Structure 1
Amino acid sequence: MRRGVTAQTPQGAAMQIDGQPMLSFCSNDYLGLANHPQIVAALAAGAERWGVGAGAAHLINGHFEPHAELETALAGWLRVDRALLFSTGYMANLAVVGGLVGRGDTVIADRLNHASLVDAAQLSGAKLLRYRHNDPEDCARQLARARGTRMIVTDGVFSMDGDAAPLAALLELAERHDAWLVIDDAHGFGVWGAGGRGTLREQGLCPGSPPERLLQVGTLGKAFGTAGAFIAGAQMPLEVLRQRARPYLFTTAAPPALAVATQASLQLIQQGDDLRAAWRARVAQLRTGLADHPGLLASATPIQPLVVGSAPESIRLAEALKAEGLFVPAIRPPTVPPNSARLRITLSASHSEAMVDTLIAALRALIPQASG
């Protein structure tokens, strides 16, 4: 049975969790912005000016100037026509799939996609075909079987393995088959690419205006450090989603003060080359320190999975680390495939070199394969 924990301090590299001081290696706060003073001040100022609740859905009277300004800023940052805000990343994925395909159509999805993309495909009524992880040739085979409107959906960075999708090949397939390509870049935005623009830019794609068939989904609760999500892309599909997507139409908008805070976060991300360099340094440090462990999956992202195999062993290791004041979660089936239970280490710009050295030493003492 999975058990939750309760923090008594704000999100950060060093926290108090369940009453104990901990070094946290499990947060998606990759740039250390969740408790940044400029963003905290922007949220407070936003609440003072705009209140707390939006009070209605976006298309009733819950769409405020900060929402519109943030959507414009996100679109400008990504160099696309338009962006549309959502309350959560899960809702954004339900919207982008269900708003553009339905019965008689086909969704072609990577087998390791996030659960929200799987649920979105199933709830849309479209036929779901799944291709082998990061295998464009298998994706092409599934596209050949597809009927109706076709949509390829993939994570940009995969949350459990820390690897990235082959976006150039998938974009070429989308163009060849006249299919939508939806990229959930929750773990890429802010982290990768020039100005933090994500996995597409990291892979050297779409430096100008992206094609109309390409849609990007991002969450604001990870590298941005705030909350909510957005879909970004061309004018036509974004207007279709605004008119048809049920998670947009039938829910209260996020607080306008949150949009004010996220605008402050976006400014820090655009100027955040030093923050991106910091987490990259910590990743290199960890990978050097655990280079002899065969279970350390190849990843150039802040997500550094250490596969141990059995679920009980992963739980044992996580509990042993916790006893030493190190919070690293055990991830086990059904979140990951059978026999691939792991410690999911995530690193942040807010981690110090000494913190990562402490983690490396503890892992090398606890896991024989990392002991040399």
Structure 2
Amino acid sequence: MADPLVELTTRGMSIWLDDLSRERLVSGSLADLVARYHVTGVTTNPTIFAKAMTSGDAYHTQMSALAARGVEAAEALRALTTFDVRAACDVLRRVYDVTDGVDGRVSIEVDPRLAHDTDATIAEAQALWWLVDRPNLFIKIPAARQGLPAITACLADGISVNVTLIFSLSRYDAVMNAFLDGMERARLTGRDLSTLASVASFFVSRLDTEVDARLDKIGTDEATELRGQAALANARLAYQRYEQLIASPRWRALEAAGARPQRPLWASTSTKDPAYPDTRYVVDLVAPGVVNTMPEATLRAVAGHGQVPPDSIADHYEQAQQVFDRLRRLGIDYDDVVQRLEDDGVAAFEASWDRLREQLATTLRATDRGAGHGR
């Protein structure tokens, strides 16, 4: 029986894991997924770290040491997350070397509360780049409008960037332009462009969740027929824009100087509606030069029963545009949908970060008191 994961990689998709924890590192789970499931990268976010640090006792030893030093919660959080990401970079280093830096990447996100502060985002990105100190690191920067200049500045400064929380096609256009600006500035200062990398993370399934809810309120036969079509259509039209970018004279000039394209990355690829196939946001978005970052459950579902069609993107551009034309005629406001998703996405990551920092502060105080009683 053919291995669907091999088929995906043969067709040009890089398979990344959307998860990281100390337990996954210590147990060898990450190394096993790299060896047996063709995982060539890792993405993280505040929600992932919040889940990891509040489950089990894998972080207890490091938390005890931080508590003994009197480290504040915000700095402790940075120490814990960069430790995990540095270790994951080491696990993926061979992949990075074998693929000449294309894959083997691990992403860590700037504090999401800084998403609307350009200068603070740049400073945080520089600090994380220095702390992790691995060439296969990606700094995740949200694609909020204030994040766009930060993307350009970081790339110009030699920092590889994963642009996250992209929902709209117009915002993706702005992200690609920020990438080009950054690479052009890096070239002007004499940087080796071949060492710089970037991905643009398009969040997929959440668009269906929001659009389907609006279609359900409309309730007509056509509305029901359009359920579950918006997310794939959005991603396919994004890939069409990527193809236009890499055919542009502006990109060709950078490519001639050694630059590599900013690859589209499909994020939020677990299926939220149980009525949909659990592999749909993977097997229906396969094309050369894309990345798909999956939770482990989705990864194993694809490995177990994924069926990869001959062409799931380029043959569907016209159909994808028709989906949005029909949605517009039904009164679905695309701009309102994607702005709502961006705002909710940033707010959710902020809430996870704040919750984790508060929990960590409580844990550090309790750990410090426990250590004091033992002295």
TM class by shorter chain equals 0.3 to 0.5
Greater share of helix: 2
Greater share of strand: 1
Scaled by the length of structure 1, the TM-score of the pair is 0.38
